[in-house]
Structure 1
Amino acid sequence: MKNRKYSTLIAILTCLALLVMVGCNSKEEKLKVAKVLPAKPEVKQELPQAVPPSVSPSTTLAEPSAAVVEVNGTKLTQGQLDREIRDSLAAIGSQVPADRLPQVRTNLRKRLIDEFILRTLLTDEVNRQKISATKQEVAEAIDKFKATLPSGVTVEEIMKKNRISEKEMREEIGLGIKVNRIVLSSLGGKVKPTEEEITKFYQKNKDKFKIPETVHARHILIAKTPADNDKTKTEKRAKAEDLRKQLLAGADFADLARKNSDYPSKENGGDLGMISRGQMVKPFEDAAFSQKKDAIGPVVETDFGYHIIQVLQHNEPQTVNLDEKTKKDIASFLEREKMQEAFASLVKKLRAKANILIHGQ
């Protein structure tokens, strides 16, 4: 069996198994849905319980050809596992303190074995059912997978970082499509929720569809430190008051922020973006949420220093209505949820009938 980068490939496999046929929203749609829908429930893919190991857990299998785990006769050898661990550590080694490397190595070993078991179970099942995937389906799935990646991240970068070839990537995506067919079949092809299910979900989770009160604010901070004496504090407050007077006289807020603010947002002209309650310290929050739009508020003192705040926009709290857009978002969420549950059920069934041996765990 050839060497594979299981951690990356199994993630791709799982993603495709859940999203290929169901479809996935654009990144923009996902951001909007995330504001009102609860997070997708975590699907714990329970892996097969191994037959008690034939050697003690502390035993090291030195022979590269020795089997570490066997799944229905398919073996992962010590040499293959060592290569996987070595490659994984090469990617993250510099980020891990030396004293933690042994624990990281142990965790990697367990995770890679679990991923090998899961992939082998799924591969055996699609082969048993003689499920196939065309080149066109694989190409379309790759396009859908690309759409789920964060901005600036490419499939090529993922392959390079994890040392996997395009052929391996296509094989894994093909497996994802095949697994997806099995999952859909287990649901009788009925994934789309009914109007009743959508309405019931909305009513049951109405609190999740509430958009909190927010303000779009910018500020200038004249920072203070615990070491500042009364004279220094007075001077810093006076500087903040002087800047406020300049703003009231028509000075450009962004320009003054870039030149005077001690907060990182100065690079953006003091812009903090949208803020909801609970994100900022109380004195700042109270001022920002009580100020009139566009007004230059009085200097506010916090533990960080002296702030001059301007509110550019104030959005009152609201509840998202059950319109067609919301129905579509809920339907997509429920479809993914059904697929996740069916996928977990499939893995559980495969586990129950699998013959798995783990040596020297």
Structure 2
Amino acid sequence: MASPKNSWVLKGFFSTLFVLICLLAFLLTACQKNDQQGTASKEETAPTASVPQTATPAEGAEKALGPGDPVIEVDGVKMTKGQLDTEVNRKLESIRKRVPAEKLPQVKTNIQKRLIDDFVVKTLLNNEVNRLKITATEQEVNEAVEKLKSSLPANVSLENLLKKNQMTREKMREEIRLGIQINKLMVSRTKNLPKPTEKEITSFYKKNQDRFKLPEAVHVRHILIARAPDDGEKVIAEKKAKAEGLRKKILAGADFAELAKSNSDCPSKSAGGDLGIVSRGQMVKPFEDAIFSLKKNQIGPVVQTEYGFHVVQVLDVRQPKTVALDERTKGMISSFLLQQKQQEAFRKMVASLKEKANIIAYMP
């Protein structure tokens, strides 16, 4: 079952370390749960990236390329067909089960184009930070590694993450180092951007009221006794009885969090079963119906879903409301608007670098 996350009122917040995050995003996708039903693949739904318009098609670009042949060249730096195919296959493998077979060819094409464009942008930025002699210290790299570690789920280690993504620790540090250098480049280009005015903040708030509406939600925790697809009737009955027994213990005064830690089959067990704030549409229907029928602090009946049996408790109930334009909200809006300006500055910088670069495309 998908674990809900506390949502920002403003969607699409843009971190000042966005470049580093983008470079490491492929690593973090390994942490995402793949069992969410109805979730479309990003590679399927995201806008297709394209080779920059400044790229010059090479002579004979229509011919079939071998593994050692370049597919794109940026100021003399080349990506080979073999390198591209390796990355494409790795990404396809991670999403294959979530994409209908008939859509895989288009998804593959989208991934290819996105990887090529990413290579172009990364190479241009790498060349620019080197030209400007922007560096990253070992301490900065170490701190970024620790930050990455702290962002991982409790059940995912950095070593397992690297292994799953077929990346060495040295390669990871190299990517992080470049991310830090690019971030320094962006800081230097955006440090003089004007801060959003009070008028801009108020105007954004009035024009984007939907962004500030908080839906009905509940703060919930649960204990999951998971069932397997091949469980027989006897095993299912035993698991249901276990869940009922845990519920009785809680009603008799036992500590919910402690029982969750020692009995739950959900990763949330490490947090005492706490799933955080949940809105409608985030959970499977039987679970959603159960938790939204409960009052604050109420222990509900055992809920059966496709995942197993759940002992649930609602810790708080939040009624629908619109967030007021107070100082905290103004600060969030100000940050969001400033980050939009930073994104635009980044796009303009990359566009300028592309115009000056010699980019040759070898794929049709």
TM-score normalized by the length of structure 1:
0.58
Which residue is equivalent to 1:196? 199
For the structure 1 residues 197 and 227, does the alpha-carbon distance in structure 2 shift closer, same or farther, using more than 3 Å as the test? same
Shift of 1:340: 1.0
For the structure 1 residues 294 and 325, does the alpha-carbon distance in structure 2 shift closer, same or farther, using more than 3 Å as the test? closer
For the structure 1 residues 163 and 318, does the alpha-carbon distance in structure 2 shift closer, same or farther, using more than 3 Å as the test? same
Identity of aligned residues (%): 35
Counterpart check, 1:57 vs 2:62: yes
**3-state secondary structure, aligned to 1:117:** helix
Shift of 1:344: 1.5
**3-state secondary structure, aligned to 2:292:** helix
Shift of 1:222: 9.6
Larger Rg over CA atoms: 1
What is the correspondence of 1:87-126 to structure 2 with a 5 Å cutoff? 113-122=116-125
For the structure 1 residues 70 and 221, does the alpha-carbon distance in structure 2 shift closer, same or farther, using more than 3 Å as the test? closer
How many residues align structurally? 312
Shift of 1:111: 5.3
5+ long unaligned stretches in structure 2: 15-45, 97-104
Which residue is equivalent to 2:218? 214
Greater shift in the superposed pair: 332-341 or 345-354: 345-354
* 1:150-207 alpha-carbon deviations (Å, 9 max, x no partner): 51669999897264496786566445534553x439xxx3242111111222222232
Tell me the distance in 2 between the aligned counterparts of 1:292 and 1:60: 64
What is the correspondence of 1:21-40 to structure 2 with a 5 Å cutoff? 34-40=7-13
For the structure 1 residues 52 and 319, does the alpha-carbon distance in structure 2 shift closer, same or farther, using more than 3 Å as the test? same
For the structure 1 residues 197 and 138, does the alpha-carbon distance in structure 2 shift closer, same or farther, using more than 3 Å as the test? farther
Specify which of 327, 330, 333 is matched with residue 333 of structure 2: 330
1:36 corresponds to which letter in structure 2?
V
Which residue is equivalent to 2:256? 254
Counterpart check, 1:48 vs 2:21: no
5+ long unaligned stretches in structure 1: 1-30
Which residue is equivalent to 1:273? 275
Counterpart check, 1:184 vs 2:190: yes
Which residue is equivalent to 1:359? 362
The alignment's C-alpha RMSD in Å is 5.7
Shift of 1:36: 0.8
For the structure 1 residues 315 and 58, does the alpha-carbon distance in structure 2 shift closer, same or farther, using more than 3 Å as the test? same
| Preserved CA contact (<8 Å) 1:240 1:299 | yes
What is the correspondence of 1:267-346 to structure 2 with a 5 Å cutoff? 267=269, 271-274=273-276, 275-298=278-301, 309-346=312-349
| Preserved CA contact (<8 Å) 1:56 1:360 | yes
* 1:238-295 alpha-carbon deviations (Å, 9 max, x no partner): 88777766655x2526399669978647956983523322334545434433333334
* 1:4-30 alpha-carbon deviations (Å, 9 max, x no partner): xxxxxxxxxxxxxxxxxxxxxxxxxxx
